[in-house]
């Protein structure tokens, strides 16, 4: 499975995660957001998505610095505004890569005590923080399986990651049933 940016239903692979984006990359990310807003694309379609394409299977997204700028720019443009320099700088100073994953279980509290870890070249990378839904929401097929959906969010320090490496992300819901994704960091921004 390869992580790509999904915009307007089109998958668009882009450069590797940029830890120190150039001014040209920053301008391009902000312009992508404005263009998406002009095309009336929802900002959540601009994340670097991975996993299944449907609502009943595990999937997630990465929030990198450039993706964050694109999403922020789209939000602002939808209100006919432009982000201030301080708002752009805040995203560029962010020390962590945010990883959000939706998983499924058979009871409302299945995601309590969930965890996630990345592996790059046999090296385990632990998040500095993990949040999870204490109460999962019902899916559209409830009471049939998968009955409940929960979000698990991890923050990984950029300093701990190889931004160009192939990565295995494993998510461990508190109720069991590990979910893993193979991510190619060289194909996202």
Q: How far apart are CA 57 and CA 38, in angstroms?
A: 30
| Contact between 98 and 63 (Cβ < 8 Å) | yes
pTM here is 0.84
State the Cα angle at 60 between 58 and 66, rounded to 5°. 165
Q: Render pLDDT for 137-178 as a digit per residue (tens, 0 to 9).
A: 999 999 999 999 999 999 999 999 988 888 999 999 987 789
pLDDT at 12: 39
Q: Which residues pair with 184 in a beta bridge?
A: 166
Strand 4-7 with 115-120, pairing:
unpaired
Q: What is the mean pLDDT of residues 89-99?
A: 94
State the Cα angle at 186 between 19 and 163, rounded to 5°. 35
CA distances from 118 to 38, 134, 145, 154 (A): 36, 23, 28, 10
What distance, in Å, lies between the first and last C-alpha atoms of the chain?
Answer: 16
């Amino acid at each position: 499975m390869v992580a790509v940016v999904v915009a307007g239903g089109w998958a668009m692979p882009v450069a590797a995660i940029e830890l120190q984006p150039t001014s040209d990359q920053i301008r391009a990310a902000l312009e992508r957001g404005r263009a998406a807003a002009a095309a009336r694309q929802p900002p959540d379609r601009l994340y670097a998505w991975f996993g299944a394409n449907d609502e009943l299977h595990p999937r997630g997204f990465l929030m990198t610095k450039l993706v964050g700028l694109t999403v922020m720019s789209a939000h602002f443009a939808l209100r006919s505004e432009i982000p201030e320099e301080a708002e752009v700088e805040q995203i560029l100073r962010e020390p962590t890569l945010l990883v959000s994953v939706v998983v499924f279980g058979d009871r409302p509290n299945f995601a309590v005590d969930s965890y996630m870890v990345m592996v790059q070249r046999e090296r385990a990378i632990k998040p500095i923080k993990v949040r999870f839904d204490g109460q999962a929401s019902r899916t559209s097929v409830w009471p049939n399986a998968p009955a409940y959906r929960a979000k698990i969010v991890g923050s990984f320090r950029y300093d701990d990651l190889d931004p160009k490496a192939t990565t295995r992300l494993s998510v461990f819901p508190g109720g069991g049933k590990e979910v893993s994704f193979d991510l190619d960091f060289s194909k996202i921004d």
